[in-house]
Amino acid sequence: MRNFFNDRADIVNEAIDGLIATSGGALVRFPRESHARVVLRAGWDKSRVAIVSGGGSGHEPAHAGLVGKGLLTAAVCGDVFASPAVDAVLASIVAVTGPAGCLLVVKNYTGDRLNFGLAAERAKGLGLKVEMVIVADDVALPEARQPRGVAGTVFVHRIAGHMSEAGRSLDEIAAAARAATGAIFSIGAARDTCTVPGNPKHERIGTDQVEIGLGIHGEPGADLTSVGSSRELMGRLADVLLARVKAGVKYAVLVNDLGGLSGIECAVLVNDLLQTPLAAQIGLIAGPAQVMTALDMPGISISLLELTPEREAILATPVAVDAFPAFRQVAHPATVPAPAEETIHQASPSADPAVRGVLETIIAAAFAMEADINALDARVGDGDTGSTLAGAARAIEAKLDTLPFADGAALLTALSELKRRSMGGSSGVLLAIMLARAGEAYRDGAGWIGALADGVAAMQIYGGAGPGDRTMLDALLPALDALRAGHSVPEAAHAARHGANATAAMSRAGAGRSAYLDARSLTGTNDPGAEAVARLFEALVS
């Protein structure tokens, strides 16, 4: 299933129940039989101005997730991407409005304008004081007569909610909210549209394209284009906003994840934003955070609010609603000095042609098998084992003339440090451990074979793998056993090859990435680490 839900007709009610269940008693709702899907602050004091917003569901945490002290008093939830009914809006107004009145904050969509507007008029007919402010912050379509209301709406929620908590009047709050709507600008972009639960997805954006200015319901934007990097994309968005901002004026910026971006992508986009000329006018920044989403849309929006002393003070004040991100001043990346790299048993370069020849043969073999081992690893892992080994070999090759070949203990220790610095992943650490222990064993009087055997034992202790676990040990252990028994290098290479080939029949792995795969994915394929060990031994024979 593309989306997780039970009954499409009940998805909003169940989502509301889930939200309230985790609110710690801060939120309540109307009974389901009322058909008005409204989330309200528990214990609301009607002596203050009520702030009510809402719209179609699918933008979570907006709007219900923004109900709380200093933000919304109530949120009216329609079906996914559909405006709530007039009666639901009216019910929410009546439930929270006292003598101080109520402000409706409405995004500029026809359904919301009409349904909230009619509810406001009916509430006035009941004798309630109601004002409505419409947010139209989307600047993606410059020729649009009715710009859409998007993520910048939450600026108005915060301003109005703060002023309500401070006991300000409805007239004051409405005036401040209307002034803010004229000072908010938003632009967004996404690499794909959203998925509406229960509906087929409309594939409109190509795999190498980005749509700039699409709406929070997946509506087409201003431009469907290809961009070469996130920096280029953010530069284009910043240019649109720069055309609207006032010179010399500071702005608050909300970086809003539209629902489907990874955290690392969002962080990169924020960094890219701060490299644009717009950065000079950023007074406060919040996010990246999911505030007003479009279901699972993989995109981002940038909203700006022109700062005044009062707006800056409001945004800088913490609010006890988890979904509302904190606004802070931009903190440019600071650094502290990195500790100097420690080198153990540093030794001077020395010569031993035979030992150097063995190491050069291993390096050449690592280069030669890089593509083959990567292809093998792609079947059972992430396809980089060959490149990891080759990268370590390059690092050693670059240092060959500095290595102490005539001092076995120092050489093994130096190789361990080179592996530690140049070879990523668990395999790099394990080989560094093996060589470090081998260096100590050689220093204590063990020969080459005994030292390497001690190193492999340490690898097993720290790595947790053993024979039959479908790792490099399945080739390495038989080869070392052969050498310790006095057999020749060709015989050790034969043992390593036999061990590597045996891994193809192993239907489970006890360690490494392959441990997460089933028998169908493993059977018939040699373990990449074991295959690499076998080829290294074979290279020493040829």
β-partners of residue 138 are: 186
Give the dihedral sign, CA 39/45/46/51: negative
**Burial, 329: exposed, middle or buried (Cβ in 10 Å; 0-12, 13-18, 19+)?**
exposed
Of 256, 262, 356, which Cα lies nearest the Cα of 303? 256
Q: How far apart are CA 387 and CA 379, in angstroms?
A: 15
Cα–chain-centroid distance for residue 301?
16
> Taking the CB of residue 435, how many other CB atoms lie within 10 A of it?
25
Calculate Rg over the CA atoms of the chain: 32
444 SS3 class: coil
DSSP state of 459: H
Of 138, 119, 144, which Cα lies nearest the Cα of 130? 119
> What is the SS3 string spanning 255-312?
EEECECCCHHHHHHHHHHHCCCHHHHHEEEEEEEECCCCCCCECEEEEEEEECCHHHH
β-partners of residue 1 are: none
Give the dihedral sign, CA 103/107/108/113: negative
Give the dihedral sign, CA 151/247/141/146: positive
Residue with tokens 């892992």: 381
Q: How far apart are CA 427 and CA 419, in angstroms?
A: 10
> Taking the CB of residue 64, how many other CB atoms lie within 10 A of it?
29
Give DSSP secondary structure letters for 214-239: --TT----SEEE--SSHHHHHHHHHH
Of 332, 260, 273, 267, which Cα lies nearest the Cα of 302? 273
Query: Could you give the maximum distance between any two Cα atoms of the chain, in Å?
Result: 101
Give the dihedral sign, CA 253/256/261/262: positive
H helix or E strand, kind and range, residue 408: helix 408-422
CB 77 within 8 A of CB 84: yes
**Sequence letter at residue 507:** S
CB 328 within 8 A of CB 284: yes
Q: Which of 217, 345, 487, 498 is catalytic?
A: 217
Q: Residue 217 catalytic?
A: yes
**Cα angle, residue 479 at apex, residues 490 and 473 outer, rounded to 5°:** 145
Report the half-sphere exposure of 276 (CA within 13 A, side-chain side).
22
CB 392 within 8 A of CB 370: no
**Sequence letter at residue 535:** R
Give catalytic residue positions: 217
